[in-house]
Amino acid sequence: MQNLIETVQLKKSFTTEAGELHVLKGIDLSISEGKMVGIVGVSGVGKSTLLHILGALDRPTSGKVFYNGTDIFSLNEDSLAVFRNRTVGFVFQFHHLLPEFTALENIMMPGLINRSQYKNIHEKAERLLNEMGLSERQGHRPGELSGGEQQRVAVARALILEPKVVLADEPTGNLDTATGDDLFKLLLNLNKEKGITFVIVTHNESLSIQCHRILRMVDGKIIPFATENTGGTEKK
């Protein structure tokens, strides 16, 4: 299967008053198209930093990130912004919905920013709301929705431009157990039915073992870790 994402010796450091802080220490990984990958590890090992770089929200200190063979950080800022908007969908622990807009309008927002045809984006947003089981909530603002409903709206927003990959940073971390389980089942179904690649940072290993593959991070590095899923094991 074709690799959608590859990283080569990815490193990230931050300058602090105490000196240089090395967060990522040479990450080599490949992620196949259509896979669901979980990234696990204790707080502070660099999981979110890695995810932000994979989504071009941040730049590495050194190393490369390839999507279908293209080094994304060789692109100029305008091209990188187009790549980020069209290729990657984001779901965060805190949904970051715009409180003054309805559920439908929040889902449409990436398409409006992309200057897509209004009618097409409106129809796609309605369809996604229906797939999320929220068709009757399209006129509600975030403050009128439950936590699980808000996160489903955030997932729909991430899907509106049909990205190749969705990067999710602790998407169930702010939800109760039952609601979090339901959301994860939704992501699994989207992966299975639509073939969307998911890379999910999570502390919840009972959820992560349902992924095709687990990447365990320790001290800024990825260590080999086998999953027990779908008829076999797969390692980094």
Give tens-digit pLDDT for 161-187: 888 899 988 887 777 788 888 888 888
With 0.85 as the threshold, say if the pTM is over it.
no
Give tens-digit pLDDT for 93-138: 777 888 999 999 999 988 888 778 888 899 989 988 888 888 888 8
Q: Give me the residue label for tokens 């409106």.
A: 122
pLDDT value for 230? 45
Pairing between β-strand 36-40 and β-strand 197-201 as defined by DSSP bridges: parallel
Q: Which amino acid is at 53?
A: I
DSSP string across 52-72: HHHTTSS--SEEEEEETTEEG
The DSSP output letter for 161 is T
Mean pLDDT of the chain: 84
Q: Give me the residue label for tokens 């010796």.
A: 9
| Count of residues in the chain | 236
Pairs from 125-130 (Cβ < 8 Å, separation ≥ 24) = 125/156, 125/160, 128/156, 128/159, 128/160, 129/103, 129/104, 129/153, 129/156
Tokens of 179: 């609601």
**Domains defined along the chain, listed by start:** 3-223 (3.40.50.300)
Tokens of 180: 């979090």
Compute, in degrees rounded to 10, the torsion defined by CA atoms 134, 198, 53, 220: 120
